Amino acid sequence: MAQLLILFICIFLIITPLYVNSKLVPPELMLAKTTNLQSIQLSYRGYLVSEKLDGVRGFWNGKHLLTRTGKLIHAPAWFTHDFPTEPLEGELWIRRGQFDLVSGIIRKQTPVDAEWKKIKFMLFDAPESELIFSQRLNYIQTLISPLNIPWLKLIEHKSFTEFSQLKTYFESIVNQNGEGVMLNKADAYYQSGRTNNIQKLKPYLDEDAIVLSHLTGKGKFQNMMGALLVKNKQGIEFKIGTGFTTAQRQHPPKIGTIISYRHSGVTKTGLPRFPTFIRIRTDLEAL
């Protein structure tokens, strides 16, 4: 009996690290609040501004590259081999409008070198640093400059003395099919959870919802999905019937999938106005 107990303990000690590595603890990251031009007009001078890149958020914990939910990203060994040992946050990004391509590449269990050569890890923060944000940017630059890794870059940040400058910059990003901009409070320390210290400014409101069912289409959408019945974080159920390609109507997001949608505000009952499908959130597993 004693020998069996020892054998069981040995097996447990071997298996447990493997299990822990496959179920890594989600990092406690800082999350942005949504703002608009009218609201940010009063406080923009305290923020550093950067483009909101249309990629997948990545967290480098010093050893592994993870998604925001703590899922291991199977990057090629060469991609992270010379990364700093300090934790860093950034966006895995190719170029504007290529979210689906990036998402597909990083979800593969076996990485494809040719695909990963298209990706850059665009850094925007150092979560464990005790410096204020403006100093954290300088800290990141001092870490990565000597490494000279072409795919490891710091996202450019700007400051504006006039609101018209911020508005022009924001509009130029949007007009070039960018998502919008991020505003980080220059003198703020890193704070996990949702905070006003980091805000996103986009030309529309967007949120996430879970797919509850597929509603059959009519007319030109006969024999296809006509709309999705979804539920958002507020527990509101509603239909989304626009924003889909023909292929997406023929093969709609599976029930239980998390999707993103855009809208133009909410009604008095909390229903999103004119909800439009954007994409499947392959980087999220739950609301």
Annotated catalytic residue within 23, 33, 52, 120: 52
Q: What is the Cα–Cα distance from 48 to 33, expressed in whole angstroms? A: 15
The per-residue DSSP string of 205-233 comes to EEEEEEEEEEEEB-GGGBTSEEEEEEEET
List C-alpha distances in Å: 18 to 23, 59, 97, 110, 285. Answer: 9, 20, 36, 18, 21
Q: Taking the CA atoms of 119, 122, 127 and 129 in sequence, report the sign of the dihedral they define.
A: positive
Burial 7-30 (b: 16+ CB within 10 A, else e): eeeeeeeeeeeeeeeeebeebeeb
Examine the residue annotation and report whether 63 is marked as an active-site residue of this protein.
no
Q: What is the Cα–Cα distance from 242 to 253, expressed in whole angstroms? A: 14
Q: What is the Cα–Cα distance from 144 to 50, expressed in whole angstroms? A: 19
Q: Which two tokens stand for residue 156?
A: 């450019």
Residue ranges of E strands in the chain: 30-35, 47-51, 56-60, 65-66, 88-93, 120-125, 152-154, 181-185, 193-201, 205-216, 225-232, 237-240, 258-263, 276-280
- Residues assigned a catalytic role: 52
